[in-house]
Structure 1
Amino acid sequence: MATNGTDITHVTIDDDEDEDDQEVKLTADECQKLVEEFVALTQTDEALAQFYLQDRQWDVNRSVNDYLDQLATASGSGSTGDQNNSRKRHAIADEVVVSSDDNDVDNDNSNDCDIVFDTKNTKTLKTSDKSTEEEENQEVVTDIKDLRFICWNIDGIDEKNLRLRTEAVCKFIRNEKAFIVFLQEVNQTAESILRQQLPDYELLTGDSQIVDYYTATLIHKKSIKLDTNEIIPFHDSMMGRNLLKTKISIGNKSVYLLNTHLESTKDFADIRVQQLRRVFKLMTELDQQSTVIFGGDLNLRDNEVAKCGIPHKVYDVWIKTGARKELEYTWDMTRNDNLQFMGAKYKPRLRFDRIYVRPSTVAAAAPEVEAIRFGLIGLERLKPHVCFPSDHWGLTVHFKIK
């Protein structure tokens, strides 16, 4: 809907701890400034900033104070830590400048936060065509020390704004300078865009004969050597799911890539657990001198992982890198409204997308390939349709190469 030439979108924010929810109207530029302000004050990152600000009506003071309180609680700080945090709060209070007017806040006990996008002043993520400059500046790395990895269900099933959303995914891949990408829910339209806009990548698909969407693994042609690739079917799948198994070489290091989209919905939990067991078993059986990276939209619930059991020496990347709460939920309907459930009584948030690693046994002292950083991408809305790139957040991982 439009008001005085300004586009408006409604974002519902659930805050169980605050009964006096407010309706906040901010431009996209103002929201970004608040994110950057939180980052500067806390020395954290934008994912954490958005997590705190969105759940606290974009109040920087409150968000930073809550962050410091939780930080102190988590670290079990004593009086010295409390005094340090108190000094930080006073310093922050002097520095914080809220971008919106008091008139922009309407205390009507509403659960809606209206973010107003001013078409004249809003920063946009342009996704039309890959620029020549980006192509020319594409990094060529032969001695990789920081292996950048993305895993993302791009929701090719939803035809709405598919070109805009897929082009945004391509832009993220280029901007992140990813060497390896796992995608799920790719269809022929999305694949065509990916091939056109990402010519520096080898694109391998787990094309399904049953449904019209599938997985895709992308590897950077100039930096990584493709050794083998095969599709391993899940014969028990009712949804045409399979496992895309790719062996690559990064310098003299051997790595297996296992990209999949496990069975969806609660009704197929038993089949999903069996599929997970099969992949975990494969991880343990593959060449011990190779690193194995397994990930995708696994549709998992924690009790299903517990039922299956994570194999010895295999780790969950999110847990290994600190299990940060703001990075936990990859399918979060409290923050992402691309998908709407009519009549739903609550908005689910789940960690469907996961990455597991089995290190090689080549170096006993330290892994050859080790996950050191985990993050989320796709958290900002795209213009002009005011949607997210997908109903899932994308996962990014930085692996340290020894």
Structure 2
Amino acid sequence: MESDSETHSGEDTTPDDWMDLAVDSPDGSPAASPAATQKPSEEEDFKLSLITWNVDGLDLEKRPERSRGLVKYLNLHNPDVVFLQELVPPYVQFLKEQLVNYLMIEGGRNGCFTGMLLKKSRVKLVESEMVAFPTTKMRRNLLVAQVIVNGQKLCLMTSHFESCKENTAERLKQLHVVKRRLKHAPDDVTIVFGGDTNLRDAEVTKVGLPATVCDVWERLGKQEHCRYTWDTSANNNKTFPFVARCRFDRIYLRPAIKRGIPRLAPDHMALVGLEKLDCGRYTSDHWGIYCTFSAE
């Protein structure tokens, strides 16, 4: 996929069965999150909340019900920023109609791709771009958004790195692209990267991260209950002849390092999507990560 500074919209029409499962308010209009129209408190002004989630949009089984489950989770947690991977055009259309208090930025048009949701009341978009991974065989890229939150400059990045164990070499190249962005961003900008990286710990060690960058899970004490985001021993959306527990989904933070600029630090992390939906399946074969940051 070629680099592109424009935001693209999915052109597929939302199927009727998706619309039948819309999450409505009592008067029949699409439901917004509880705080959609509320002005953030002073305490909230010093925080940033984020969810990153591979939603497995390519899986057709119970997809409308699972998309409805995603909307309910997002309305419950009401994050400022959402990073999504494995979106497909009908899924994007559904989210746009349901989450009217968010701006959707899409990282592609066809197949599956990444996306971002930015809460309109909290996050002001300055510009966005898609950065190509030149040698990807899976149409993967890096979606980047420059935003303003409470007067502070943030660079938000999400990606879905090349999948499968045999594609280590390509994943390392993709991590290098992210590393350069983390290392060379302006000193007055806070950078948050999150997504389905498919990374193994040895691969991260091989590339290395800049000293100014932290892995949020590690910074918060490597809590065991948040370690595995793809866990076939607990999530049976997919059937495999093996058990795998992997920390594929990761969040990296590089706080602004210029003197006088508030430095964000992670203060909470939890997995979401751990409950089965009424349809008997989970929202995705991945757990989502919910994370909050506060100024130090």
TM-score, normalised via structure 2 length: 0.87
Q: 2 CA distance for matches of 1:328 and 1:377?
A: 12
Pair 1:357 & 2:253 matched = yes
Letter in 2 for 1:135: A
Deviation at 1:131, TM superposition (A): 1.8
In our comparison, the structure showing a higher alpha carbon Rg is: 1
Pair 1:373 & 2:271 matched = no
Q: Whose RCO is larger (CA < 8 A, sep 6+)?
A: 2
Cα gap change, 1:132/1:325 in structure 2, threshold over 3 Å: closer, same or farther?
Answer: same
Of residues 161, 176, 180, the one that matches 1:262 is 161
Q: 1 CA distance for matches of 2:64 and 2:79?
A: 21
Q: 1 CA distance for matches of 2:281 and 2:116?
A: 25
Pair 1:299 & 2:190 matched = no
Contact 1:291 1:358 in 2 (8 A): yes
Cα gap change, 1:141/1:321 in structure 2, threshold over 3 Å: closer, same or farther?
Answer: farther
Of residues 94, 97, 101, the one that matches 1:200 is 101
TM-superposition CA deviations, 1:88-111 (whole Å, max 9, x none): xxxxxxxxxxxxxxxxxxxxxxxx
Q: Which residue of 1 aligns with 2:285?
A: 391
Deviation at 1:146, TM superposition (A): 2.6
Q: 2 CA distance for matches of 1:184 and 1:257?
A: 14
Gaps of 5+ in 1: 1-126
Cα gap change, 1:322/1:132 in structure 2, threshold over 3 Å: closer, same or farther?
Answer: farther
Q: Which residue of 2 aligns with 1:215?
A: 114
Contact 2:34 2:75 in 1 (8 A): no
Q: 1 CA distance for matches of 2:206 and 2:270?
A: 27
TM-superposition CA deviations, 1:101-148 (whole Å, max 9, x none): xxxxxxxxxxxxxxxxxxxxxxxxxx7523258538334345522321
Gaps of 5+ in 2: 1-20
Note the 1:2-401 alignment, pairs <5 A.
Answer: 128-132=22-26, 134-135=31-32, 137-139=34-36, 140-142=38-40, 143=42, 144-207=45-108, 212-341=111-240, 344=241, 346-363=242-259, 368-383=263-278, 385-401=279-295
TM-superposition CA deviations, 1:349-376 (whole Å, max 9, x none): 1000000000101347x95221111110
Task: Give 3-state SS (helix, strand or coil) of 2:32's partner.
Answer: helix
Identity of aligned residues (%): 33
Q: 1 CA distance for matches of 2:23 and 2:214?
A: 38
1 or 2, which has the higher helix percentage?
Answer: 1
Contact 2:22 2:98 in 1 (8 A): no
The runs of 4+ residues in structure 1 deviating greater than 2 Å are 132-143
Cα gap change, 1:136/1:166 in structure 2, threshold over 3 Å: closer, same or farther?
Answer: closer
Contact 1:208 1:241 in 2 (8 A): no
Q: 1 CA distance for matches of 2:128 and 2:200?
A: 29
TM-score, normalised via structure 1 length: 0.64
Task: Give 3-state SS (helix, strand or coil) of 2:188's partner.
Answer: coil
Task: Give 3-state SS (helix, strand or coil) of 1:135's partner.
Answer: coil
Q: 2 CA distance for matches of 1:132 and 1:151?
A: 29
Letter in 1 for 2:32: E
User: Number of matched residues?
Assistant: 269
TM-superposition CA deviations, 1:29-67 (whole Å, max 9, x none): xxxxxxxxxxxxxxxxxxxxxxxxxxxxxxxxxxxxxxx
Q: 2 CA distance for matches of 1:135 and 1:180?
A: 15
Contact 2:33 2:101 in 1 (8 A): no
Q: How large is the RMSD of aligned CA atoms in angstroms?
A: 1.7
Deviation at 1:186, TM superposition (A): 0.3
Deviation at 1:308, TM superposition (A): 0.7
Q: 2 CA distance for matches of 1:215 and 1:322?
A: 28
